[in-house]
């Protein structure tokens, strides 16, 4: 009977008891274990399959957790989690109350640094290495594993630049598979391709020129070669750089052949790899597709329109425009700061620039938003996809801070559409000409109008800047919502028996606020409830409170939204329940208030 080696590996100590010739069997079992669990529970697949051999080699050669291993982004860390005391609860990955989909310091001593955004590993591992030196520990190893898409980011270069002038005991491993979520882009990708193909002269090695001991490229799926090279590098002092070549999705044919789709494929058949497709018939469109289809339609009619995304052409649906008008749609790689200032530069020349960045990633370009765009009052159109709670990716990816961090910036307009029509119309309005930059925030997932594309797409109406809307009149309580969470309010009022008591106002503009409507609300309702799918500290509700204080109103105001804690992973509905902004919680609140 064939032995199951993986079932006897609780942590890397057990792994190191095996003979080296047993490790390919461990790799096969680990790969199958990941496929079996992710096929049912969903999650990130291709990246972890691609580094199975590397993961085993790292934990076999290095004395983790004493030696410190830092993963970049964390999409590829499933094998690491399984080998480090989390195999038995790996089935809870990304589920509420379960383990995180990314390395997380509070979860395990083997997770040396919390990650989720890219390009942080080199700086973090270098910080650890310098700290070890200062403490007199010159034997501890510090390893950063980073992909070819992440290493093209400015922060990674900053880390390399600093590391090259130290004698820190740092090993940077470049996991080069020519793809992040979408295929890698840029001059560095071309350089790495030339290196892999042997077309780059040795004297032109840019990593060596940064004072790293460079080795590679080597086959990242060749366990004996990996182990031999890691053992050699263990005994070399100072900054080292190992270039390995891997295949994303290795071991599952479909994941190798369609690396974009199998990055996070949803449920699939573990035996065949075939996706278990859900019927999309009669479903509302995804907000990202409303953006993508609308900007393409507008760009066909207006040759000044430009689209920019930092490495998210598929996720943002800018790919529609990139396919049809490639000369005016740019994927700049994982480079949010560059994306924002590139947009600013284009705006100075009269271009109409839609800069599409996930809400959580715009945080990385906050200075550029203030200094390069808002200070110069350039009318860049920021399209913030994945605003609000995003679900299973958890705390690193929730787009819940954007209202608070953008509201403080002079000249900034902030708009949150309640549905697909509102999103389409603000995208149309923005290209007619604005006097200020605007941030349009919209959620992950689907809208609420199944027939949007048939009935509404392409039928544009200009939106008046700063105008709120009364969606429903009422006698006792006014609910003020902003953005798509207003649909929860609509649904709750449909379920609530005394809904005639409650008025509902949609405030798509968080900045500027509609002061005329607010004066009317505060004059006619003693009790006011604000709701937003964003942090309550400094958000839409705070803006309403500021209005009340400025105008000396004493009404009873309750603010609903994301509390002052980092929200972990779970489904969006579960997390809304946690924050008491789901439909059922709102019905209960209305019932309590009416008594």
CA gap 80, 101 in Å, rounded: 11
Q: Which one is catalytic: 336, 420, 532, 533?
A: 336
Active site residue 248: yes
Place of tokens 């609140």: 589
Using DSSP bridges, classify how beta strands 329-331 and 305-309 pair: parallel, antiparallel or unpaired. parallel
CA gap 458, 294 in Å, rounded: 7
- Which conformational region is residue 78 in: left (phi greater than 0), alpha (psi within -120 to 50 degrees), or beta? alpha
**CB-based contacts of 277: which residues, under 8 Å, 6+ apart?**
none
Tokens of 4: 């199951």
CA gap 14, 139 in Å, rounded: 22
Q: Which one is catalytic: 240, 248, 319, 386?
A: 248
Active site residue 527: no
CA gap 582, 584 in Å, rounded: 6
Q: Which one is catalytic: 94, 364, 444, 511?
A: 364
User: Edge-to-edge, what's the strand order for the sheet holding 469-472?
Assistant: 469-472, 502-506, 477-481, 527-535, 556-562
Give the DSSP letter string of 327-396: GGEEE--S-HHHHHHHHHHHHHTT-EEEEEEEHHHHGGGHHHIIIIIITTT---EEEEETBB--STTGGG
Tokens of 214: 């460079």
Q: Cis before residue 222, ω within 30 degrees of 0?
A: no
Active site residue 467: no
Q: At what angle do helices 486-495 and 583-593 cross, to 10 degrees?
A: 60
Instruction: Give backbone dihedrals phi and psi of 12, rounded to 5 degrees, phi first.
Output: -60, -20
What is the set of active-site residues?
248, 336, 364
């Amino acid at each position: 009977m064939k032995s199951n080696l993986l079932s006897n590996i609780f942590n890397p100590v057990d792994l190191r008891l095996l003979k080296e010739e047993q490790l390919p069997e461990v790799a096969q079992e680990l790969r199958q274990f990941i496929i079996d669990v992710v096929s049912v529970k969903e999650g990130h697949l291709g990246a972890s399959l691609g580094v199975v051999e590397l993961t085993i080699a790292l934990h076999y050669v290095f004395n983790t957790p004493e030696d410190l291993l830092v993963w970049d982004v964390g999409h590829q860390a499933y094998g690491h989690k399984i080998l480090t005391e989390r195999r038995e609860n790996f089935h809870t990955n990304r589920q509420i109350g379960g383990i995180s989909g990314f390395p997380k310091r509070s979860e395990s001593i083997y997770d040396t640094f919390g990650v989720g955004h890219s390009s942080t590993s080199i700086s973090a591992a270098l910080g650890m290495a310098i700290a070890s030196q200062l403490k007199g520990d010159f034997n501890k190893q510090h390893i950063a594993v980073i992909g070819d898409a992440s290493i093209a980011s400015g922060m990674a270069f900053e880390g390399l630049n600093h590391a090259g002038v130290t004698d820190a005991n740092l090993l940077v491993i470049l996991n080069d598979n020519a793809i992040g979520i979408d295929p890698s882009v840029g001059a560095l990708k071309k350089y790495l391709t030339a290196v892999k193909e042997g077309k780059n002269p040795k004297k032109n090695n840019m990593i060596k020129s940064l004072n790293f001991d460079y080795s590679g490229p080597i086959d990242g799926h060749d366990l004996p070669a990996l182990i031999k090279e890691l053992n050699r590098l263990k005994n070399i002092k100072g900054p080292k750089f190992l270039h390995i070549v891997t295949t994303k999705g290795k071991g599952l044919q479909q994941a190798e052949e369609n690396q974009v789709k199998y990055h996070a494929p949803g449920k699939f058949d573990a035996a065949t790899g075939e996706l278990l497709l859900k019927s999309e018939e009669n479903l509302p469109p995804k907000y990202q597709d409303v953006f993508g289809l609308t900007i393409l339609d507008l760009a066909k009619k207006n040759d000044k329109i430009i689209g920019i995304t930092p490495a998210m052409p598929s996720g943002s649906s800018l790919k529609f425009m990139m396919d049809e008008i490639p000369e005016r749609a740019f994927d700049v790689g994982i480079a949010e700061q560059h994306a924002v200032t590139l947009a600013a530069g284009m705006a100075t020349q009269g271009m109409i620039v839609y800069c599409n960045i996930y809400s959580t990633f715009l945080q990385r370009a906050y200075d550029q938003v203030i200094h390069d765009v808002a200070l110069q009052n350039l009318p860049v159109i920021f399209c913030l996809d994945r605003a609000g709670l995003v679900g299973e990716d958890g705390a690193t990816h929730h787009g819940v801070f954007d209202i608070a961090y953008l509201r403080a910036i002079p000249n900034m307009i902030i708009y949150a559409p309640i549905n697909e029509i509102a999103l389409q119309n603000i995208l149309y309005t923005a290209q007619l000409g604005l006097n200020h930059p605007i941030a349009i925030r919209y959620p992950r997932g689907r809208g609420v109008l199944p027939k949007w594309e048939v009935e509404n797409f392409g039928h544009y109406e200009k939106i008046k800047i700063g105008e709120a809307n009364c969606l429903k009149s009422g006698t006792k309580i006014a609910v003020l919502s902003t953005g798509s969470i207003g649909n929860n309010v609509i649904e709750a009022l449909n379920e609530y028996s005394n809904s005639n008591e409650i008025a509902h106002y949609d405030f798509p503009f968080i900045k500027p606020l509609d002061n005329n409507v607010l004066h009317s609300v505060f004059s006619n309702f003693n009790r006011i409830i604000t709701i937003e799918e964003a942090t309550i500290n400094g958000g839409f509700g705070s803006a309403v409170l500021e209005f009340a204080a400025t105008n000396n109103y004493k009404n009873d105001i309750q603010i609903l939204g994301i509390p002052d804690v980092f929200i972990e992973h779970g489904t969006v509905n579960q997390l809304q329940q946690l924050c008491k902004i789901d439909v059922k919680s709102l019905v209960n609140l209305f019932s309590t208030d009416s008594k």
